[in-house]
């Protein structure tokens, strides 16, 4: 085998190895909010997002105050029949947090550190507005919230500092021509 054949095979093996090492999101995985929240928050609840609040009773502390790593549990509505869950990645003030969540602005996509603002009259986080990327601002809709589910430990992973996608290996193999007799 000559150098070009070896280089082509090496590039193919390297590309295959990178595909298994790159996070699922970078490979185009479609994330549901519940699956993603469970993966990063340490709150081990399964099922549709609207069921999380009741499932957390007796297993996790729940409350009205946002805390780092807590899961904000959205109620289900006609527009959001499966509810929604998102992890608090930063508490900015008593009426503003940053959320890390999936399947909100872009179908199946992940958003990190996006604004959510308490717009409830009582200041109890029972109603919020959330950053909506296509608008480039808080959305025009308000969403009812059950409250916060507090994890029994630290959030998982390096979600706060992680870029949207890891760097990939770009290989230009266009000038490689297969040689006769090489399988």
40-51 pLDDT tens trace: 999 999 999 999
The encoded tokens of residue 180 equal 């006769």
Token pair recorded at residue 163: 């870029």
> What pLDDT was estimated at residue 165?
34
Contact 101, 83 (CB under 8 A): no
- Residue 111 scores a pLDDT above 90: yes
Number of Cβ within a 10 Å radius of residue 162: 15
- 158, two tokens: 């390096």
Mean pLDDT to the nearest integer, 135-140: 88
The per-type count for the chain, helices as H runs and strands as E runs, is 3, 8
Contact 86, 70 (CB under 8 A): no
Select the more confidently predicted residue: 94 or 25.
Answer: 94
Over residues 116-126, the pLDDT tens digits come to 999 999 999 99
pLDDT higher at 75 or 163? 75
Percentage of residues in the chain with pLDDT exceeding 70? Answer: 68
Burial class of residue 163 (count of CB atoms within 10 Å of its CB; 0-12, 13-18, 19+):
exposed
73 SS3 class: strand
């Amino acid at each position: 085998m000559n150098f070009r054949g070896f280089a082509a095979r090496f590039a193919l093996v390297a590309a295959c190895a990178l595909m298994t090492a790159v996070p699922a999101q970078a490979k185009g995985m479609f994330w549901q909010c519940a699956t993603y929240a469970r993966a990063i928050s340490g709150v081990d609840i399964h099922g549709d997002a609207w069921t999380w609040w009741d499932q957390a009773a007796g297993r996790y502390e729940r409350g009205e105050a946002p805390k780092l790593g807590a899961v904000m549990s959205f109620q289900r509505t006609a527009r959001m029949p499966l509810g929604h869950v998102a992890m608090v990645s930063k508490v900015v003030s008593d009426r503003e947090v940053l959320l890390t969540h999936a399947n909100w602005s872009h179908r199946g996509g992940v958003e990190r550190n996006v604004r959510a603002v308490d717009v409830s009259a009582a200041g109890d986080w029972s109603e919020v507005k959330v950053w909506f990327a296509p608008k480039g601002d808080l959305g025009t809709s308000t969403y009812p919230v059950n409250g916060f589910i507090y994890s029994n430990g630290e959030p998982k992973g390096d979600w706060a500092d992680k870029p949207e996608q890891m760097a990939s290996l770009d290989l230009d193999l266009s000038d490689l021509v297969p040689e006769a007799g090489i399988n």
